[in-house]
Amino acid sequence: MSAIEEWAAALAAWAIPPEILAGAGETPWVLPREVFRRRAREQVAAPVGATYREALAALAEPGTVLDVGAAAGATSLPLVAAGRVTGITAVDGDTDLLGTFARDAAAAGVPVTTIAGRWPEVAPETGVADVVVCGNVLYNVADLGPFVTALTARARRRVVAELAARHPLTALNPLWTHFHGVTRPAGPTAGDCVAALRELGVEPVVSRWRRPPEPEHAAFPDLVEVTRRRLCLPPSAAGEVRRVLLDLGHDPDVPPDLGSSGRELFTLVWDGGA
């Protein structure tokens, strides 16, 4: 099996067992929008990490940015705040988060275009940009070939992509075992992604780094509620979810969002093809 096939198979293994999904009273596919907004605000206020440094270096001469999977702008809006961006295009499937992105980019005084849709289907609408950024999206992409090819084709200078060291849902694995008695996958990993990129003819420069701890949810009960839903549990299980989260060492004063990005991260950089 090729690295690209192994990547797709590893992602497919994350499907929730049908019998558990059938018993869920609410969708487990929770999109905690306020987490993404908080991340963007924090990163604009105090940018950290290799992704920011690499994208900023690619904009040593100011230029345009295309942000694929932009959410509320944690990957690209810090570049606007640094005064390096002459225009920005944001692509995301969530129109609420795109609205936040558009307002914040406009407030920073940069021309902004938002495109609601999935990459690479909407790639023909974006045009090219000097730098293409893609933060914490690749674990949602089973078919890496067309996705990565479109990123490269839209970048004049560099593509800068960020992803967690391993699939972010692995943070929930101990809870799946506790509540459902099931063993969830352990991969794929960022290393698996790099292997798949190399099969596509992309040789990225790789930086590994750690995001400092910071509260991602406004309060610990928000983490409990999102986690409960992700685990397909009823509201009556909230107290037990809280207890297990505390037993696992999660700080109620600095509640993380288990299931999206994480603190151990990789930044991958490669040349654009536009």
Residues above pLDDT 70, as percent of the chain: 100
pLDDT one-digit tens code per residue, 156-212? 999 999 999 999 999 999 999 999 999 999 999 999 999 999 999 999 999 999 999
CATH number at residue 138: 3.40.50.150
Lowest mean pLDDT among 22-26, 54-58, 99-103, 218-222: 22-26
The C-alpha atoms of residue 94 and residue 267 are separated, in whole angstroms, by 24
Residue range 104-131: mean pLDDT, rounded: 97
Q: Is residue 197 part of a domain?
A: yes
Q: Is residue 94 part of a domain?
A: yes
Q: Is residue 23 part of a domain?
A: no
Q: Is the pLDDT of residue 66 over 90?
A: yes
Q: Is residue 238 part of a domain?
A: no
Residue range 77-97: mean pLDDT, rounded: 96
Q: Is residue 50 part of a domain?
A: yes
List, in order, residues 6 or more apart from 143 with CB less than 8 Å away. Answer: 8
| pLDDT, position 256 | 95
User: The domain containing residue 44 runs over which residues?
Assistant: 3-14+29-167+187-216+260-271
Residue range 42-57: mean pLDDT, rounded: 97
Kindly report the average pLDDT of the chain as a whole number.
96
Q: Is residue 35 part of a domain?
A: yes
pLDDT one-digit tens code per residue, 228-241? 999 999 999 999 99
Q: Is the pLDDT of residue 261 over 90?
A: no
Q: Is residue 174 part of a domain?
A: no
Number of domains in the chain: 1
Q: Is residue 38 part of a domain?
A: yes
The pTM score is 0.96
| pLDDT, position 72 | 97
